[in-house]
Amino acid sequence: MRSAFVLLALSLCLVAAPVAADIRVDFIEGAPTDRFVITNSGACALRATELVIDLGGSAAGLIFDVTEAGAGVQVFQPFALIAGAGALDSVPKVSDGDRRVVLSIRSLVPGAQIAFTIDVDDTIGQRETIVANSEIEGAIVEATAAGVTTSARFSRQAQALVKTPPCN
């Protein structure tokens, strides 16, 4: 009887614990297109969230190269949404040389993803068309929902994990 009571008490504590809707963003270098994958890695849905990927603080001065003429070099690739279109309010506009992309997330359930391809070039390295994982280090991902903003920097492994406030 006592062990059943202990199990019940532990179960209630787990249920009462706050859960988060954390966001994982992975950068995957590719030729000719690079890819960003945004995953709701938390336990509850993201709703009405603005997600900003800002390359401005990156180690290699990264930019988006979306047209043949302009700031980028050689190969270019415009923004192309490849997963999660239904999770967004609209498709973002990205201009050549931009350092930021803003995604307006309507709703993203746990485990769901939004992914897009685009060309990313570095502006201070020796191999401008190939972005090594360490070159995106320092770029920021920022999430704003219900007036609360949280952020994280990309690591040397080209991943950022944004911890969000607890949700119900």
Rounded Cα–Cα distance for residues 72 and 65 (Å): 5
Cα 77 to Cα 123: distance, rounded to the nearest angstrom = 16
Q: What is the DSSP letter of 16?
A: H
Report pLDDT digits (tens) over 16-56: 455 666 999 999 998 778 999 999 999 999 999 999 999 99
DSSP character string of 116-148: EEE-EE-SSSS-TT---GGGGTT-EEEEEETTE
- Does residue 158 contact residue 28 with C-beta atoms inside 8 Å? yes
Q: pLDDT tier at 81 (50, 70, 90 boundaries)?
A: very high
Three-state DSSP at 69 gives coil
Cα 22 to Cα 13, 66, 141: the distances in Å are 21, 29, 12
Q: What per-residue confidence (pLDDT) applies to 37?
A: 98
Phi/psi of residue 3, each to 5°? -65, -35
Kindly report, residue by residue over 82-118, the tens digit of the pLDDT: 999 999 999 999 999 999 999 999 999 999 999 999 9
For residue 10, the SS3 value is: helix
Confidence (pLDDT) at 52? 98
Query: Is 74 or 161 the better-scoring residue by pLDDT?
Result: 161
Average pLDDT, the chain: 85
pLDDT confidence tier of residue 167, bands split at 50, 70 and 90: confident
Determine the pLDDT at residue 168: 65
